[in-house]
Amino acid sequence: MDKLLNAVNHSLRSFAQDEDGAQVVEYALIIAVVSIALVVALKALTANGGGFATFITRVTNCLTTATCT
């Protein structure tokens, strides 16, 4: 019985000291913040009288011609 309790105690201590799960949470938070920033940026870029297709057309025109409006 003591061996079982010692094994459980050891398992719980090693689980409490394991920090791999914290890295996953940190990466998830970074991805969430970047995603929110992208949505806000796209919303601001497409707010000038058009949708996303209009924005893409403007970018394409800027890249293929010498004039950007």
47 assigned to some structural domain: yes
If you count them, how many residues does the chain have? Answer: 69
| Top-confidence residue, 4 or 30 | 30
- Domain tally, the chain: 1
pLDDT tens readout for residues 5-47: 778 777 767 766 666 667 788 889 999 999 999 888 877 776 6
- Which phi and psi angles does 46 have, rounded to 5°? -95, 5
Q: Looking at residue 45, what is its pLDDT?
A: 72
CB contact at 8 A, 46 and 54: yes
13 assigned to some structural domain: no
1 assigned to some structural domain: no
| Per-residue tokens: 68 | 């950007």
Residue ranges making up the domain that contains 49:
21-68
| Per-residue tokens: 3 | 């061996």
